[in-house]
Amino acid sequence: MNAPFVDIHNHTIPGVDDGPKGMDDALKMASIAADDGIETVLLTPHNRDVAALTRHGRLDEQADRLRQAAATDGISVRFLLATENYLEPDLPQQVEQGTALPINGTSYILVELPYMGMLALYTDDTLSQLQLSGLIPIIAHPERCEALASRPEVLEGFVQRGMLAQVTSASITGAFGRDFQRAAEHMLRHGLVHVIATDAHMARGPRVPVMSDGVRAAAKIVGDERALEMATTVPAAIVEGRPVDVPEPKQAKRRFGPFR
């Protein structure tokens, strides 16, 4: 499979967050991505690390350095810029101040919720504020978020309210273990996730920038055509700021509740 994939969640900028430490590893990642058919990579360092380690002017420069090094090495990947934004009550203000970056200057914004434990009480309110300011939140890897994996109907509520969700390729293949895989499969089956991305952090192990395996695994659940769209046309529309057509979610089965 050598499709023109678009990866909207990726930590290839070196030395900024928990991605690669140096340019050599970053270039290895870029090369793996290119070999997998990834044509466009949206660089999404964690906003909290970026704010702590650098200034946003420099983030642009760091993305440029990566672009130049990749071009010198003959790696033909297009790099775009955003941040992966941890949901905090002041996230709308961080966007206004430019310390949390929407996707490639569009209205889409990648939002990360906590991996463990319950969602914070301000979650709904802050997501609504982002929407009221004209942004469309894309929930990063909900299958790896305990609160959403155990209660997918909460994610369904977000989707019904006009948000999108990104599932991680390695979760679908089972590279992160059976629990994450089951959650990913459930969300795929119920139309609760819309884009496949790598969330790549390194040049080896399960967090490499490879999408083809995840697309193949997703195809067994949603069919070849939909799986491919989730890695090509849907993310391409997102990085260009165009509307995306997503299927209506199928009612996610309640897994917990007081009435059964």
Name residue, tokens 């499979």: 1
Q: How many residues does the chain have?
A: 260
The least distance separating Fe ion from the CB of residue 112, rounded to whole angstroms, comes to: 7
Containing 148, the helix (H) or strand (E) segment is: helix 146-150
The least distance separating Fe ion from the CB of residue 141, rounded to whole angstroms, comes to: 7
Q: Which is nearer to Fe ion, 84 or 213 (CB)?
A: 84
Total residues binding Fe ion (CB under 5 A): 2
The residue type of 80 is: L
Q: Where in 22-51 is the site for Fe ion (CB under 5 A)?
A: none
143 contacts Fe ion (rule: CB under 5 A)? no
- Please identify which residue in 17, 25, 36, 84 interacts with Fe ion, judged by CB under 5 A: 84
The least distance separating Fe ion from the CB of residue 255, rounded to whole angstroms, comes to: 25
Contacts of 31 (CB under 8 A, 6+ apart): 73, 75
Which range, of 55-63, 82-90, 162-170, 226-234, touches Fe ion by CB under 5 A?
82-90
Q: Which is nearer to Fe ion, 25 or 84 (CB)?
A: 84
Name the token pair of 115. Answer: 């991996």
Find, among 8, 5, 3, 2, the residue nearest to 200 by Cα. Answer: 8
Q: Where in 199-218 is the site for Fe ion (CB under 5 A)?
A: 199
The least distance separating Fe ion from the CB of residue 140, rounded to whole angstroms, comes to: 6
Name the token pair of 256. Answer: 């917990």
The residue at minimum Cβ distance from Fe ion is: 199
Q: Cα separation of 150 and 154, whole Å?
A: 9
Q: Cα separation of 75 and 21, whole Å?
A: 19
Which range, of 79-87, 88-96, 126-134, 240-248, touches Fe ion by CB under 5 A?
79-87
Which range, of 22-30, 83-91, 160-168, 237-245, touches Fe ion by CB under 5 A?
83-91
Q: Cα separation of 25 and 3, whole Å?
A: 24
Q: Which is nearer to Fe ion, 144 or 190 (CB)?
A: 144
Q: Cα separation of 101 and 173, whole Å?
A: 29
Which range, of 49-57, 76-84, 184-192, 209-217, touches Fe ion by CB under 5 A?
76-84
The least distance separating Fe ion from the CB of residue 17, rounded to whole angstroms, comes to: 8
Q: Which is nearer to Fe ion, 170 or 252 (CB)?
A: 170
- Let me know: does 114 contact 145? Beta carbons within 8 Å: yes
The least distance separating Fe ion from the CB of residue 145, rounded to whole angstroms, comes to: 12
Q: Which is nearer to Fe ion, 143 or 199 (CB)?
A: 199
Q: Cα separation of 117 and 67, whole Å?
A: 38
Question: Judging by DSSP bridges, how do beta strands 38-43 and 136-140 pair with one another?
Answer: unpaired
- Give the binding site for Fe ion (CB under 5 A): 84, 199
